[in-house]
Amino acid sequence: GAGVSQSPSNKVTEKGKDVELRCDPISGHTALYWYRQSLGQGLEFLIYFQGNSAPDKSGLPSDRFSAERTGGSVSTLTIQRTQQEDSAVYLCASSLPGTSGGGRDTQYFGPGTRLTVL
Amino acid sequence: KNQVEQSPQSLIILEGKNCTLQCNYTVSPFSNLRWYKQDTGRGPVSLTIMTFSENTKSNGRYTATLDADTKQSSLHITASQLSDSASYICVVSARNYGQNFVFGPGTRLSVLP
């Protein structure tokens, strides 16, 4: 595709339910990131995938959050037993790996999924 | 604690005027600093990326500066246009391995005709 796509664009769920958010990165991008943006707050890093390497999960706020990336492409962020404080916009980004490391690669963001937990 | 602060929180200017947005950080060890533009309801779009050795970088009417000694960065917008109305986010990477980014809260810029 032309850019990073995410689905659904909006998700309303009840407290305690599980939700799955999907991200389709730009074709050929081996790096994929998930972020969370709460209302009026800055983006919060959640998890990072790079190729076949073990993902960097250092940003996941609790064990209710998990993410997978199948076949090095599509990624799914799963939130179990959702809480009201999980309400936010969840953004996905992808990039090519920087040849020199150090994260110089430009990230391309999707439009986000707005999650509302009632 | 790794933190990124931005000022002002919001800014209103008239079309055609210049403006400068500020970013201060306490992230260590420093890897790189990025400025993003985020339109309402859209994902952020990268404007500039700077490493420790770079102290200025331009992208059209956007010019970013970095002072790694004082841990400050600025984003200067020249001859503002209505389409510049957006949130501008400063992001600092804390390490070279992995992607642990620290995002600032953003500055909301409104350009009026």
What is the predicted pLDDT for the residue at B96?
53
> Using CB atoms, which residue from B42, B100, B104 is nearest to A58?
B100
Which H/E stretch holds residue B102?
strand B101-103
Mean pLDDT estimate for chain A = 89
pLDDT for A75-116, tens place per residue?
999 999 999 999 999 999 998 865 444 455 678 899 999 999
What is the predicted pLDDT for the residue at B1?
73
What is the predicted pLDDT for the residue at A98?
56
Contact B32 A103 (CB under 8 A): yes
pLDDT for B31-89, tens place per residue?
889 999 999 888 899 899 898 888 999 999 999 999 999 999 999 999 999 999 999 99
Answer yes or no: are the C-beta atoms of B99 and A48 closer than 8 Å.
yes
Contact A42 B103 (CB under 8 A): yes
pLDDT for A3-14, tens place per residue?
999 999 999 999
Query: Which residues of chain B neighbour A57 with C-beta distances below 8 Å?
Result: none
- Is the bond preceding residue B29 a cis peptide, omega within 30 degrees? yes
What is the predicted pLDDT for the residue at B103?
86
Most A-contacting residue of B59, B101, B108 (CB-CB within 10 A), to test interface: B101
Most A-contacting residue of B47, B99, B101, B102 (CB-CB within 10 A), to test interface: B99
What amino acid is encoded at B52 in this protein?
F
Contact A42 B4 (CB under 8 A): yes
Query: Which residues of chain A neighbour B42 with C-beta distances below 8 Å?
Result: 109, 111-112
Residue B4 has pLDDT above 50, yes or no: yes
pLDDT band at A54 (very low <50, low <70, confident <90, very high): confident
CA nearest to A102, candidates B100, B72, B85, B67: B100
The upper half-sphere exposure of residue A29, i.e. CA atoms within 13 Å in the direction of its Cβ, equals 27
